[in-house]
Structure 1
Amino acid sequence: MTSPDEGYLLDNAQPEAGSRFDALSALFDASTFRHLDDLGLAPGWRCWEVGAGGPSVVTWLADRVGPSGHVLATDLDTSWATTAASDVVEISRHDVGLDAPPPGGFDLVHARLVLVHVPDRERALRTLVAALRPGGRLLLEDADPALQPLICLDERGPDEALANRLRRAFRELLASRGADLAYGRTLPRVLREAGLTDVTSDAYFPITSPACTALEAATVRQIRGDLVAAGLATDAEIDRHLANVTSGGLDLATSPMISASGRLP
Protein backbone atom coordinates (compact mmCIF):
# COMPACT_ATOMS: atom_id res chain seq x y z
CA MET A 1 0.00 0.00 0.00
CA THR A 2 1.16 3.53 -0.72
CA SER A 3 2.03 5.95 2.08
CA PRO A 4 1.01 9.60 2.58
CA ASP A 5 4.50 10.89 1.86
CA GLU A 6 4.46 9.58 -1.71
CA GLY A 7 2.67 12.70 -2.89
CA TYR A 8 -0.42 13.60 -4.88
CA LEU A 9 -1.87 10.56 -6.64
CA LEU A 10 -3.06 12.48 -9.73
CA ASP A 11 0.20 14.22 -10.57
CA ASN A 12 -0.13 17.09 -13.09
CA ALA A 13 3.16 16.03 -14.69
CA GLN A 14 1.65 12.81 -16.03
CA PRO A 15 0.48 12.89 -19.67
CA GLU A 16 -3.10 11.90 -18.73
CA ALA A 17 -3.49 15.09 -16.70
CA GLY A 18 -4.45 17.12 -19.77
CA SER A 19 -7.31 14.76 -20.58
CA ARG A 20 -8.47 14.90 -16.95
CA PHE A 21 -8.43 18.71 -16.95
CA ASP A 22 -10.47 18.80 -20.16
CA ALA A 23 -13.05 16.39 -18.72
CA LEU A 24 -13.26 18.24 -15.40
CA SER A 25 -13.79 21.49 -17.28
CA ALA A 26 -16.60 19.98 -19.34
CA LEU A 27 -18.24 18.57 -16.22
CA PHE A 28 -17.88 21.39 -13.70
CA ASP A 29 -16.98 24.73 -15.32
CA ALA A 30 -20.60 25.77 -15.91
CA SER A 31 -21.43 25.17 -12.24
CA THR A 32 -18.28 26.95 -11.08
CA PHE A 33 -18.95 29.94 -13.32
CA ARG A 34 -22.52 30.19 -12.02
CA HIS A 35 -21.25 30.34 -8.45
CA LEU A 36 -18.61 32.93 -9.31
CA ASP A 37 -21.19 35.12 -11.06
CA ASP A 38 -23.47 34.80 -8.03
CA LEU A 39 -20.68 36.26 -5.89
CA GLY A 40 -20.79 39.46 -7.93
CA LEU A 41 -17.52 39.03 -9.80
CA ALA A 42 -16.91 42.30 -11.63
CA PRO A 43 -14.32 44.24 -13.65
CA GLY A 44 -11.35 45.37 -11.58
CA TRP A 45 -11.44 42.50 -9.06
CA ARG A 46 -8.24 40.88 -7.83
CA CYS A 47 -8.67 37.08 -7.92
CA TRP A 48 -6.57 34.15 -6.74
CA GLU A 49 -7.21 30.82 -8.49
CA VAL A 50 -5.69 28.17 -6.23
CA GLY A 51 -4.59 24.84 -7.70
CA ALA A 52 -5.36 26.16 -11.15
CA GLY A 53 -4.56 22.97 -13.07
CA GLY A 54 -5.78 23.71 -16.60
CA PRO A 55 -6.44 27.18 -18.05
CA SER A 56 -10.25 27.21 -18.38
CA VAL A 57 -11.25 28.87 -15.08
CA VAL A 58 -8.25 31.23 -15.18
CA THR A 59 -9.14 32.42 -18.68
CA TRP A 60 -12.80 32.90 -17.74
CA LEU A 61 -11.85 34.94 -14.64
CA ALA A 62 -9.52 37.13 -16.69
CA ASP A 63 -12.32 37.87 -19.15
CA ARG A 64 -14.65 38.85 -16.29
CA VAL A 65 -12.25 41.13 -14.40
CA GLY A 66 -10.96 42.77 -17.57
CA PRO A 67 -7.80 44.82 -18.07
CA SER A 68 -8.32 46.70 -14.80
CA GLY A 69 -8.36 43.44 -12.80
CA HIS A 70 -5.79 40.83 -11.91
CA VAL A 71 -5.84 37.02 -11.72
CA LEU A 72 -3.14 35.10 -9.87
CA ALA A 73 -3.13 31.41 -10.86
CA THR A 74 -1.08 29.07 -8.68
CA ASP A 75 -0.39 25.35 -8.47
CA LEU A 76 2.38 22.94 -7.55
CA ASP A 77 2.84 22.32 -11.28
CA THR A 78 1.79 25.29 -13.42
CA SER A 79 2.71 23.81 -16.81
CA TRP A 80 -0.92 23.20 -17.85
CA ALA A 81 -2.01 26.77 -17.03
CA THR A 82 0.77 28.67 -18.80
CA THR A 83 -1.34 29.24 -21.92
CA ALA A 84 -3.54 31.54 -19.83
CA ALA A 85 -0.69 33.95 -18.98
CA SER A 86 -1.36 37.54 -20.08
CA ASP A 87 -1.21 41.14 -18.89
CA VAL A 88 -4.10 40.26 -16.54
CA VAL A 89 -3.06 36.72 -15.54
CA GLU A 90 0.01 35.97 -13.42
CA ILE A 91 1.14 32.32 -13.13
CA SER A 92 3.12 31.27 -10.06
CA ARG A 93 4.09 28.09 -8.22
CA HIS A 94 2.59 27.95 -4.72
CA ASP A 95 1.93 25.20 -2.16
CA VAL A 96 -1.24 26.22 -0.34
CA GLY A 97 -0.55 23.65 2.37
CA LEU A 98 2.88 25.09 3.20
CA ASP A 99 3.44 28.59 1.77
CA ALA A 100 2.31 31.95 3.13
CA PRO A 101 -0.57 33.68 1.32
CA PRO A 102 0.37 35.85 -1.65
CA PRO A 103 0.53 39.56 -0.78
CA GLY A 104 -1.85 42.29 -1.83
CA GLY A 105 -5.26 41.03 -0.74
CA PHE A 106 -7.90 39.55 -3.02
CA ASP A 107 -11.56 40.25 -3.71
CA LEU A 108 -12.04 36.58 -4.63
CA VAL A 109 -10.21 33.37 -3.77
CA HIS A 110 -11.34 30.16 -5.49
CA ALA A 111 -10.13 26.57 -5.05
CA ARG A 112 -11.71 23.58 -6.83
CA LEU A 113 -10.69 20.01 -6.00
CA VAL A 114 -7.72 21.27 -3.97
CA LEU A 115 -8.20 21.11 -0.20
CA VAL A 116 -9.54 17.55 -0.26
CA HIS A 117 -6.02 16.47 -1.29
CA VAL A 118 -4.03 18.71 1.11
CA PRO A 119 -2.88 16.88 4.25
CA ASP A 120 -2.95 20.03 6.43
CA ARG A 121 -6.35 21.32 5.32
CA GLU A 122 -6.79 23.59 8.34
CA ARG A 123 -3.56 25.43 7.58
CA ALA A 124 -4.46 25.71 3.91
CA LEU A 125 -7.86 27.16 4.76
CA ARG A 126 -6.26 29.76 7.05
CA THR A 127 -3.97 30.72 4.16
CA LEU A 128 -6.95 31.23 1.81
CA VAL A 129 -8.86 33.32 4.34
CA ALA A 130 -5.77 35.39 5.17
CA ALA A 131 -5.46 36.29 1.47
CA LEU A 132 -8.91 37.96 1.40
CA ARG A 133 -9.51 41.68 1.60
CA PRO A 134 -12.27 42.81 3.99
CA GLY A 135 -15.48 41.96 2.17
CA GLY A 136 -13.64 39.46 -0.06
CA ARG A 137 -15.28 36.20 -1.11
CA LEU A 138 -13.98 32.65 -0.79
CA LEU A 139 -15.44 29.90 -2.98
CA LEU A 140 -14.38 26.34 -2.13
CA GLU A 141 -15.44 23.39 -4.28
CA ASP A 142 -14.55 19.85 -3.32
CA ALA A 143 -15.84 16.40 -4.15
CA ASP A 144 -17.27 14.11 -1.48
CA PRO A 145 -16.58 10.54 -2.69
CA ALA A 146 -17.78 9.07 0.60
CA LEU A 147 -21.17 10.73 0.18
CA GLN A 148 -21.81 8.79 -3.05
CA PRO A 149 -19.21 6.03 -3.47
CA LEU A 150 -20.46 4.34 -6.65
CA ILE A 151 -19.38 5.20 -10.17
CA CYS A 152 -22.15 2.98 -11.61
CA LEU A 153 -25.32 3.77 -9.69
CA ASP A 154 -27.21 1.04 -11.57
CA GLU A 155 -25.04 -2.00 -10.79
CA ARG A 156 -26.92 -4.33 -13.12
CA GLY A 157 -24.16 -6.69 -14.17
CA PRO A 158 -20.50 -7.74 -13.88
CA ASP A 159 -19.18 -4.78 -15.87
CA GLU A 160 -20.79 -2.31 -13.50
CA ALA A 161 -19.62 -4.35 -10.50
CA LEU A 162 -16.04 -4.23 -11.79
CA ALA A 163 -16.29 -0.47 -12.29
CA ASN A 164 -17.50 0.00 -8.73
CA ARG A 165 -14.76 -2.26 -7.35
CA LEU A 166 -12.09 -0.26 -9.18
CA ARG A 167 -13.67 2.95 -7.88
CA ARG A 168 -13.37 1.60 -4.31
CA ALA A 169 -9.72 0.82 -5.03
CA PHE A 170 -9.19 4.37 -6.33
CA ARG A 171 -10.68 5.80 -3.13
CA GLU A 172 -8.38 3.55 -1.08
CA LEU A 173 -5.38 4.97 -2.93
CA LEU A 174 -6.60 8.53 -2.41
CA ALA A 175 -7.06 7.97 1.32
CA SER A 176 -3.58 6.45 1.55
CA ARG A 177 -2.18 9.71 0.13
CA GLY A 178 -3.94 11.83 2.76
CA ALA A 179 -7.15 12.76 0.93
CA ASP A 180 -10.23 13.28 3.13
CA LEU A 181 -13.00 11.56 1.17
CA ALA A 182 -15.74 13.17 3.32
CA TYR A 183 -14.35 16.71 3.26
CA GLY A 184 -16.82 18.19 0.80
CA ARG A 185 -19.78 17.96 3.18
CA THR A 186 -17.87 19.93 5.84
CA LEU A 187 -17.30 23.03 3.70
CA PRO A 188 -20.21 25.15 5.02
CA ARG A 189 -19.14 24.49 8.62
CA VAL A 190 -15.44 25.12 8.05
CA LEU A 191 -16.18 28.43 6.33
CA ARG A 192 -18.29 29.58 9.29
CA GLU A 193 -15.63 28.40 11.75
CA ALA A 194 -13.06 30.40 9.77
CA GLY A 195 -15.05 33.56 10.52
CA LEU A 196 -16.79 34.00 7.16
CA THR A 197 -20.37 35.20 6.90
CA ASP A 198 -23.17 34.84 4.31
CA VAL A 199 -22.21 31.18 3.85
CA THR A 200 -24.15 29.29 1.16
CA SER A 201 -23.61 25.85 -0.36
CA ASP A 202 -25.00 23.36 -2.85
CA ALA A 203 -24.00 20.15 -4.64
CA TYR A 204 -23.69 19.24 -8.31
CA PHE A 205 -23.82 15.58 -9.30
CA PRO A 206 -23.35 14.47 -12.94
CA ILE A 207 -24.68 10.94 -13.42
CA THR A 208 -23.70 10.21 -17.01
CA SER A 209 -22.17 12.14 -19.91
CA PRO A 210 -19.33 11.83 -22.43
CA ALA A 211 -17.18 13.87 -20.03
CA CYS A 212 -17.83 11.37 -17.22
CA THR A 213 -16.58 8.64 -19.55
CA ALA A 214 -13.51 10.64 -20.59
CA LEU A 215 -12.67 11.45 -16.97
CA GLU A 216 -12.88 7.79 -15.92
CA ALA A 217 -10.69 6.60 -18.80
CA ALA A 218 -8.01 9.24 -18.12
CA THR A 219 -8.08 8.64 -14.36
CA VAL A 220 -7.78 4.85 -14.61
CA ARG A 221 -4.91 5.15 -17.09
CA GLN A 222 -3.17 7.63 -14.80
CA ILE A 223 -3.41 5.45 -11.68
CA ARG A 224 -3.04 2.08 -13.40
CA GLY A 225 0.45 1.44 -12.09
CA ASP A 226 -0.56 2.38 -8.54
CA LEU A 227 -3.57 0.05 -8.61
CA VAL A 228 -1.48 -2.89 -9.78
CA ALA A 229 1.45 -2.15 -7.43
CA ALA A 230 -0.91 -1.99 -4.45
CA GLY A 231 -2.53 -5.31 -5.37
CA LEU A 232 -5.92 -3.63 -5.82
CA ALA A 233 -6.42 -4.69 -9.45
CA THR A 234 -4.76 -6.73 -12.17
CA ASP A 235 -3.74 -5.52 -15.60
CA ALA A 236 -6.38 -7.82 -17.10
CA GLU A 237 -9.12 -6.28 -14.95
CA ILE A 238 -8.03 -2.77 -15.87
CA ASP A 239 -7.92 -3.64 -19.57
CA ARG A 240 -11.43 -5.10 -19.34
CA HIS A 241 -12.74 -2.03 -17.53
CA LEU A 242 -11.18 0.39 -20.02
CA ALA A 243 -12.72 -1.58 -22.87
CA ASN A 244 -16.10 -1.36 -21.14
CA VAL A 245 -15.67 2.38 -20.68
CA THR A 246 -14.66 2.90 -24.30
CA SER A 247 -17.65 0.91 -25.55
CA GLY A 248 -20.00 3.52 -24.09
CA GLY A 249 -22.23 0.95 -22.42
CA LEU A 250 -21.65 2.13 -18.85
CA ASP A 251 -23.49 5.00 -17.16
CA LEU A 252 -20.63 6.55 -15.18
CA ALA A 253 -21.28 9.08 -12.42
CA THR A 254 -18.97 11.45 -10.57
CA SER A 255 -18.74 12.13 -6.87
CA PRO A 256 -20.96 15.04 -5.75
CA MET A 257 -19.16 18.38 -6.06
CA ILE A 258 -19.91 20.56 -3.02
CA SER A 259 -19.61 24.31 -3.65
CA ALA A 260 -19.56 26.60 -0.62
CA SER A 261 -18.90 30.32 -0.42
CA GLY A 262 -18.56 32.92 2.31
CA ARG A 263 -17.54 36.56 2.82
CA LEU A 264 -14.86 38.00 5.07
CA PRO A 265 -16.48 40.74 7.20
Structure 2
Amino acid sequence: MAERDAEKGYLLDTRQAEAGERFGALAELFDPVTFRHIDRLGLAPGMRVWEVGAGGPSVPLGLARRVGPGGTVVATDLDVSWTREAAGGPVEVLRHDVGAEPAPGGGGFDLVHARLVLVHVTDRAAALRHMVQALRPGGRLLLEDADPGLQPLLCPDESGPEQRLANRLRTGFRTLMAERGADLAYGRTLPRLLREAGLADVEADAYFPIASPACTALEAATVRQIRTRLVAAGLATNEEIDHHLANIATGRMDLATSPLVSAWGRRPDDQGH
Protein backbone atom coordinates (compact mmCIF):
# COMPACT_ATOMS: atom_id res chain seq x y z
CA MET A 1 0.00 0.00 0.00
CA ALA A 2 2.90 2.33 0.49
CA GLU A 3 5.79 1.29 -1.76
CA ARG A 4 7.19 4.29 -3.59
CA ASP A 5 10.21 5.72 -5.36
CA ALA A 6 12.13 7.92 -2.96
CA GLU A 7 13.67 10.09 -5.67
CA LYS A 8 10.28 10.89 -7.17
CA GLY A 9 8.89 11.75 -3.75
CA TYR A 10 5.73 9.87 -2.84
CA LEU A 11 2.89 12.37 -2.77
CA LEU A 12 1.18 10.81 0.25
CA ASP A 13 4.12 10.73 2.67
CA THR A 14 3.68 7.86 5.12
CA ARG A 15 5.57 9.82 7.79
CA GLN A 16 2.73 12.33 8.13
CA ALA A 17 0.08 11.86 10.81
CA GLU A 18 -2.67 11.72 8.17
CA ALA A 19 -1.14 8.52 6.80
CA GLY A 20 -2.60 6.54 9.69
CA GLU A 21 -6.04 7.99 8.99
CA ARG A 22 -5.71 7.11 5.32
CA PHE A 23 -4.63 3.54 6.08
CA GLY A 24 -7.62 3.13 8.40
CA ALA A 25 -10.05 4.43 5.78
CA LEU A 26 -8.51 2.30 3.03
CA ALA A 27 -8.77 -0.77 5.25
CA GLU A 28 -12.46 -0.07 5.90
CA LEU A 29 -13.12 0.48 2.20
CA PHE A 30 -11.08 -2.28 0.62
CA ASP A 31 -10.22 -5.02 3.14
CA PRO A 32 -13.56 -6.80 2.51
CA VAL A 33 -12.79 -6.80 -1.23
CA THR A 34 -9.22 -7.99 -0.72
CA PHE A 35 -10.14 -10.82 1.61
CA ARG A 36 -13.07 -11.90 -0.55
CA HIS A 37 -10.52 -12.55 -3.29
CA ILE A 38 -7.93 -14.06 -0.96
CA ASP A 39 -10.45 -16.49 0.50
CA ARG A 40 -11.62 -17.44 -2.99
CA LEU A 41 -8.02 -18.17 -3.96
CA GLY A 42 -7.82 -20.74 -1.19
CA LEU A 43 -5.41 -19.31 1.37
CA ALA A 44 -5.17 -21.95 4.11
CA PRO A 45 -3.33 -22.72 7.36
CA GLY A 46 0.36 -23.38 6.94
CA MET A 47 0.76 -21.38 3.73
CA ARG A 48 3.46 -18.82 3.03
CA VAL A 49 2.42 -15.29 1.94
CA TRP A 50 4.25 -12.16 0.82
CA GLU A 51 2.32 -8.93 1.44
CA VAL A 52 4.02 -6.25 -0.69
CA GLY A 53 3.80 -2.58 0.32
CA ALA A 54 1.81 -3.49 3.39
CA GLY A 55 1.34 0.05 4.73
CA GLY A 56 -0.98 -0.39 7.71
CA PRO A 57 -1.39 -3.57 9.77
CA SER A 58 -4.87 -4.71 8.72
CA VAL A 59 -3.98 -6.91 5.73
CA PRO A 60 -0.97 -8.64 7.37
CA LEU A 61 -3.08 -9.39 10.45
CA GLY A 62 -5.92 -10.75 8.33
CA LEU A 63 -3.48 -12.94 6.43
CA ALA A 64 -1.98 -14.15 9.72
CA ARG A 65 -5.40 -15.30 10.95
CA ARG A 66 -5.79 -17.37 7.80
CA VAL A 67 -2.35 -19.03 7.69
CA GLY A 68 -2.25 -19.67 11.44
CA PRO A 69 0.80 -20.34 13.60
CA GLY A 70 2.16 -22.87 11.13
CA GLY A 71 2.18 -20.37 8.27
CA THR A 72 4.26 -17.33 7.38
CA VAL A 73 3.34 -13.79 6.37
CA VAL A 74 6.23 -11.63 5.16
CA ALA A 75 5.02 -8.01 5.15
CA THR A 76 7.32 -5.58 3.36
CA ASP A 77 7.42 -1.87 2.63
CA LEU A 78 9.87 0.96 2.18
CA ASP A 79 8.51 2.50 5.39
CA VAL A 80 7.47 -0.12 7.94
CA SER A 81 6.54 2.31 10.72
CA TRP A 82 2.81 1.66 10.27
CA THR A 83 3.24 -2.10 9.74
CA ARG A 84 5.32 -2.88 12.82
CA GLU A 85 2.31 -3.39 15.09
CA ALA A 86 1.43 -6.45 13.01
CA ALA A 87 4.80 -8.10 13.70
CA GLY A 88 4.83 -11.25 15.76
CA GLY A 89 3.46 -14.75 15.44
CA PRO A 90 3.46 -15.70 11.77
CA VAL A 91 4.07 -12.07 10.63
CA GLU A 92 7.59 -10.93 9.78
CA VAL A 93 7.96 -7.23 8.88
CA LEU A 94 10.85 -6.23 6.62
CA ARG A 95 11.97 -3.07 4.87
CA HIS A 96 12.13 -3.87 1.15
CA ASP A 97 11.92 -2.15 -2.25
CA VAL A 98 9.95 -4.37 -4.60
CA GLY A 99 11.01 -2.35 -7.64
CA ALA A 100 14.72 -2.85 -6.94
CA GLU A 101 15.07 -6.07 -4.93
CA PRO A 102 14.07 -9.70 -5.49
CA ALA A 103 11.69 -11.39 -3.08
CA PRO A 104 12.79 -11.71 0.54
CA GLY A 105 13.74 -15.17 1.69
CA GLY A 106 14.20 -16.56 -1.80
CA GLY A 107 10.54 -16.74 -2.76
CA GLY A 108 8.50 -19.91 -2.75
CA PHE A 109 5.28 -18.15 -1.72
CA ASP A 110 1.82 -19.67 -2.01
CA LEU A 111 0.34 -16.18 -2.36
CA VAL A 112 1.79 -12.78 -3.22
CA HIS A 113 -0.48 -9.76 -2.76
CA ALA A 114 -0.05 -6.04 -3.39
CA ARG A 115 -2.76 -3.38 -3.02
CA LEU A 116 -2.37 0.21 -4.21
CA VAL A 117 1.35 -0.33 -4.68
CA LEU A 118 2.41 -0.69 -8.31
CA VAL A 119 0.65 2.47 -9.51
CA HIS A 120 3.24 4.41 -7.46
CA VAL A 121 6.36 2.34 -8.30
CA THR A 122 8.60 3.77 -11.00
CA ASP A 123 9.91 0.42 -12.28
CA ARG A 124 6.59 -1.42 -12.35
CA ALA A 125 7.85 -4.06 -14.76
CA ALA A 126 10.67 -5.06 -12.41
CA ALA A 127 8.33 -5.09 -9.42
CA LEU A 128 5.87 -7.35 -11.21
CA ARG A 129 8.68 -9.64 -12.35
CA HIS A 130 9.97 -9.96 -8.76
CA MET A 131 6.49 -10.87 -7.51
CA VAL A 132 5.91 -13.48 -10.21
CA GLN A 133 9.34 -15.00 -9.58
CA ALA A 134 8.50 -15.22 -5.88
CA LEU A 135 5.62 -17.64 -6.48
CA ARG A 136 6.04 -21.36 -6.03
CA PRO A 137 4.63 -23.45 -8.89
CA GLY A 138 0.88 -23.28 -8.46
CA GLY A 139 1.14 -20.16 -6.31
CA ARG A 140 -1.24 -17.23 -6.78
CA LEU A 141 -0.61 -13.54 -7.41
CA LEU A 142 -3.28 -11.01 -6.47
CA LEU A 143 -2.69 -7.42 -7.59
CA GLU A 144 -5.08 -4.60 -6.71
CA ASP A 145 -4.54 -1.11 -8.05
CA ALA A 146 -6.50 2.03 -8.67
CA ASP A 147 -7.50 3.32 -12.08
CA PRO A 148 -8.46 7.01 -11.70
CA GLY A 149 -8.80 7.29 -15.45
CA LEU A 150 -11.76 4.91 -15.45
CA GLN A 151 -13.72 7.09 -13.04
CA PRO A 152 -11.91 10.37 -12.33
CA LEU A 153 -14.55 12.19 -10.26
CA LEU A 154 -14.70 12.54 -6.51
CA CYS A 155 -18.40 13.39 -6.91
CA PRO A 156 -19.87 11.42 -9.83
CA ASP A 157 -23.17 13.24 -9.17
CA GLU A 158 -21.87 16.76 -9.88
CA SER A 159 -25.06 18.43 -8.68
CA GLY A 160 -23.85 21.80 -7.38
CA PRO A 161 -20.93 24.14 -6.63
CA GLU A 162 -19.69 22.00 -3.74
CA GLN A 163 -19.38 18.98 -6.02
CA ARG A 164 -17.76 20.99 -8.79
CA LEU A 165 -15.13 22.27 -6.35
CA ALA A 166 -14.52 18.75 -5.08
CA ASN A 167 -14.00 17.45 -8.60
CA ARG A 168 -11.65 20.30 -9.47
CA LEU A 169 -9.52 19.57 -6.41
CA ARG A 170 -9.52 15.87 -7.32
CA THR A 171 -8.20 16.84 -10.76
CA GLY A 172 -5.42 18.74 -9.00
CA PHE A 173 -4.60 15.68 -6.90
CA ARG A 174 -4.38 13.52 -10.02
CA THR A 175 -2.10 16.11 -11.65
CA LEU A 176 0.29 15.93 -8.69
CA MET A 177 0.26 12.13 -8.80
CA ALA A 178 1.03 12.05 -12.51
CA GLU A 179 3.92 14.49 -12.05
CA ARG A 180 5.45 12.00 -9.62
CA GLY A 181 5.26 9.10 -12.05
CA ALA A 182 1.95 7.50 -11.07
CA ASP A 183 0.18 5.72 -13.93
CA LEU A 184 -3.44 6.84 -13.68
CA ALA A 185 -4.61 4.13 -16.10
CA TYR A 186 -2.65 1.24 -14.59
CA GLY A 187 -5.45 -0.75 -12.99
CA ARG A 188 -7.09 -1.70 -16.29
CA THR A 189 -3.81 -3.19 -17.57
CA LEU A 190 -3.44 -5.75 -14.78
CA PRO A 191 -5.16 -8.73 -16.48
CA ARG A 192 -3.03 -8.33 -19.61
CA LEU A 193 0.15 -7.88 -17.59
CA LEU A 194 -0.51 -11.03 -15.58
CA ARG A 195 -1.07 -13.04 -18.75
CA GLU A 196 2.06 -11.58 -20.36
CA ALA A 197 3.98 -12.58 -17.22
CA GLY A 198 3.04 -16.21 -17.90
CA LEU A 199 0.31 -16.65 -15.29
CA ALA A 200 -2.66 -18.90 -15.94
CA ASP A 201 -6.34 -18.66 -14.95
CA VAL A 202 -6.23 -14.86 -14.99
CA GLU A 203 -9.39 -13.06 -13.88
CA ALA A 204 -10.22 -9.57 -12.66
CA ASP A 205 -12.96 -7.34 -11.35
CA ALA A 206 -13.32 -3.75 -10.17
CA TYR A 207 -14.96 -2.06 -7.21
CA PHE A 208 -15.56 1.49 -6.11
CA PRO A 209 -17.80 2.71 -3.32
CA ILE A 210 -19.96 5.82 -3.45
CA ALA A 211 -21.21 7.69 -0.38
CA SER A 212 -19.34 5.64 2.22
CA PRO A 213 -18.28 7.31 5.49
CA ALA A 214 -14.83 5.85 4.86
CA CYS A 215 -14.69 7.74 1.54
CA THR A 216 -15.34 10.93 3.50
CA ALA A 217 -12.60 10.14 6.03
CA LEU A 218 -10.17 9.23 3.24
CA GLU A 219 -10.79 12.45 1.32
CA ALA A 220 -10.43 14.68 4.39
CA ALA A 221 -7.13 13.06 5.39
CA THR A 222 -5.81 13.14 1.81
CA VAL A 223 -6.62 16.82 1.27
CA ARG A 224 -5.06 17.83 4.57
CA GLN A 225 -1.97 15.83 3.64
CA ILE A 226 -1.47 17.43 0.21
CA ARG A 227 -2.88 20.94 0.73
CA THR A 228 0.52 22.67 0.75
CA ARG A 229 1.42 20.93 -2.53
CA LEU A 230 -1.89 21.88 -4.14
CA VAL A 231 -1.40 25.51 -3.16
CA ALA A 232 2.28 25.59 -4.16
CA ALA A 233 1.41 24.22 -7.59
CA GLY A 234 -1.32 26.81 -8.11
CA LEU A 235 -3.97 24.09 -8.29
CA ALA A 236 -6.05 25.48 -5.40
CA THR A 237 -6.08 28.27 -2.85
CA ASN A 238 -6.11 27.80 0.90
CA GLU A 239 -9.58 29.34 0.95
CA GLU A 240 -10.86 26.78 -1.57
CA ILE A 241 -9.35 23.93 0.41
CA ASP A 242 -10.91 25.21 3.65
CA HIS A 243 -14.25 25.47 1.87
CA HIS A 244 -13.92 21.91 0.53
CA LEU A 245 -13.01 20.51 3.97
CA ALA A 246 -16.02 22.29 5.47
CA ASN A 247 -18.25 20.79 2.78
CA ILE A 248 -16.87 17.33 3.54
CA ALA A 249 -17.50 17.81 7.26
CA THR A 250 -21.24 18.25 6.66
CA GLY A 251 -21.48 14.56 5.79
CA ARG A 252 -23.78 15.37 2.89
CA MET A 253 -21.24 14.96 0.09
CA ASP A 254 -21.57 11.73 -1.89
CA LEU A 255 -17.87 11.00 -2.34
CA ALA A 256 -16.46 8.15 -4.40
CA THR A 257 -13.06 6.55 -4.89
CA SER A 258 -11.24 5.61 -8.04
CA PRO A 259 -12.09 2.04 -9.08
CA LEU A 260 -9.94 -0.60 -7.42
CA VAL A 261 -9.12 -3.22 -10.05
CA SER A 262 -8.31 -6.64 -8.60
CA ALA A 263 -6.59 -9.15 -10.88
CA TRP A 264 -5.31 -12.59 -10.03
CA GLY A 265 -3.56 -15.49 -11.68
CA ARG A 266 -1.71 -18.73 -11.00
CA ARG A 267 1.89 -19.64 -11.73
CA PRO A 268 1.78 -22.84 -13.80
CA ASP A 269 3.24 -25.88 -12.11
CA ASP A 270 6.37 -27.58 -13.38
CA GLN A 271 4.35 -29.61 -15.88
CA GLY A 272 2.75 -26.45 -17.30
CA HIS A 273 -0.75 -27.37 -16.13
Q: State the TM bucket, normalised to the shorter chain.
A: over 0.9
Q: Which of 223, 226, 234 lines up with 1:223 in the alignment? A: 226
Secondary structure of residue in 1 paired with 2:29 = helix
- Backbone CA RMSD of aligned residues: 0.9
Q: Which of 67, 87, 100 lines up with 1:65 in the alignment? A: 67
Distance 1:246 1:67 in 2: 43
Distance 1:221 1:104 in 2: 39
Distance 1:7 1:97 in 2: 15
> Which residue of structure 1 lines up, in the alignment, with residue 95 of structure 2?
93
User: Please, which runs of 5 or more residues in structure 2 have no aligned partner?
Assistant: 1-5, 269-273
The question of whether the paired residues in 2 share the 8 Å contact of 1:175 and 1:181 is answered with: yes
Structure 2 residue 139 is the aligned partner of structure 1 residue 164: no
Distance 1:104 1:53 in 2: 21
Report the CA distance between 1:9 and its aligned residue.
0.6
> Which residue of structure 1 lines up, in the alignment, with residue 15 of structure 2?
13
Percent of paired sites with the same residue: 72
Secondary structure of residue in 1 paired with 2:234 = coil
> Which residue of structure 1 lines up, in the alignment, with residue 49 of structure 2?
47
TM-score, normalising length from structure 1? 0.97
TM-score, normalising length from structure 2? 0.95
Secondary structure of residue in 1 paired with 2:83 = helix
> Which residue of structure 2 lines up, in the alignment, with residue 251 of structure 1?
254
Q: Which amino acid aligns with 2:81?
A: S
The question of whether the paired residues in 2 share the 8 Å contact of 1:202 and 1:260 is answered with: yes
Secondary structure of residue in 2 paired with 1:250 = coil
Q: Which of 200, 204, 214 lines up with 1:201 in the alignment? A: 204
Q: Which of 106, 109, 112 lines up with 2:109 in the alignment? A: 106
Query: What number of residue pairs does the alignment pair up?
Result: 262
After TM superposition, what 4+ stretches of structure 1 lie above 2 angstroms from structure 2?
Answer: none
The question of whether the paired residues in 2 share the 8 Å contact of 1:5 and 1:177 is answered with: no
Report the CA distance between 1:105 and its aligned residue.
1.3
Q: Which amino acid aligns with 2:253?
A: L
Q: 1:165 to 1:153 in 2, by over 3 A?
A: same
Report the CA distance between 1:6 and its aligned residue.
3.5
